[in-house]
Amino acid sequence: MNNNFNLSNLILSNFYNLIPVRLDNSNYVTWKFLLETMLKGCGLMKYVDGSFPCPSQYMITEEGGVSSEMTTEYYTWKQNDYAVMTLLSATLSSDVLSFVVGSNTSRELWCSLKERFASTSWFNKEQLKSNFYKLQKGSDSIDKYLDRVKIACDQLANVGIHMTDEDIIVSVLLGLPSDYTTMKTIIRAKHNPISTQELRSLLLIAEAELEEAAKTISLPSKTTMVTHADSFRDITNGIPQGHGTIQQSQLGLQQNKGYSQSFGGSNHQSQQQNAGVACSVPYAPDSTMMQNENFAQQHMSTMIS
């Protein structure tokens, strides 16, 4: 393999399309997979894994001395190693980049990131396991929820803990909301354990049924719409009945005409007052006529007395 691999063709504007993620506190496993794939494909992983150490900076003379001239091998290695560091740094978020400032080689940078994000301490392992069993579906879709479970499994695998299918199924079922109680019971009642692929298929079926049921509940039924239409029609048809009240009020106006003259009032003025009452309540109930009759009876009693 050519150790003098030229990186100039890799540092191009389309590099961001090759590595679409920026390393942060949540995606180290994904970032590492993408970078390792690219570096191995280009024959550059040897710079970061230590299998191709830096050659001597100066040439050893035949007399056992050290030449003052820098060797071509050293110059080429440093050039390529700096290029690899540039590639790695370009894939880091601003917070992570500040953490590796001061690294002298790509391997030193790589090891610093591994120490920070892939710590194999006992506390870190236990924390990852605890987080794995505390995952909740929440408002996410089934596919998105299972993706988060997969990421948690990858984080555990990165520190040497490999979860079995049974572990994954237990975690997934624990994180499902009460809407999936029936499906959880069916899965737990199976005599033989199911695979993660079968688990996904069953949960997608349950999700589709829940969504369909939600749509059915949210739409008004045909019977309800007809009932509302009938109620509106009954109210509309009842409005003309109020015209009888107007006629009754006009009848009361004629009856009051004589009583107004007895008090010395103007017949025209009395008509205007009663007409105002009748017009102000065009759709009043039948009690309007009763009120006019009471008014007339009161004036009759006053006149007789």
Average pLDDT over residues 227-256: 49
Cα–Cα nearest to 90, from 8, 6, 9, 11: 11
- Fill in the DSSP letter of residue 42: T
Higher local confidence (pLDDT), 302 or 212: 212
Q: pLDDT, tens digit, for every residue of 71-104?
A: 899 999 999 999 899 989 999 999 999 999 999 9
CA proximity to 199, closest of 217, 211, 183, 175: 183
93 CB contacts (<8 Å, ≥6 apart)? 22, 23, 24
**Which is higher by pLDDT, 157 or 239?**
157
Per-residue pLDDT at 150: 94
Q: Which helix (H) or strand (E) holds 58?
A: strand 58-60
Q: DSSP letter string over 223-286?
A: HHHHHHHHHHHHHHHHGGGGHHHHHHHHHHHHHHHHHHHHTT--HHHHHHHHHHHHHH-TT--T
Nearest to 207 by CA among 136, 134, 137: 137
Concatenating the DSSP letter of every residue in 122-186 gives HHHHHHHHHHHHT---TTS-HHHHHHHHHHHHHHHHHTT----HHHHHHHHHHTS-GGGHHHHHH
Choice among 27-31, 124-128, 272-276 with the minimum mean pLDDT: 272-276
pLDDT band at 125 (very low <50, low <70, confident <90, very high): confident
As a whole number of angstroms, the distance between CA 136 and CA 21 comes to 25
Which pLDDT belongs to residue 146?
Answer: 97
Choose between 296 and 106: higher pLDDT: 106
Q: Residue 22: count other Cβ atoms within 10 Å of its Cβ.
A: 15
Sequence-ordered list of residues with C-beta below 8 angstroms from that of 221, at least 6 positions apart, any chain: none
- The answer, yes or no, to whether residue 283 has pLDDT greater than 50, is no
Please state the rounded mean pLDDT for residues 99-120. 91
For residue 218 the two structure tokens come to: 């949210």
Query: Which tens digits make up the pLDDT trace of 140-187?
Result: 999 999 999 999 999 898 888 999 999 999 999 999 999 999 999 999
* Mean residue pLDDT across the chain: 76
Paired with 200 in beta bridges are none
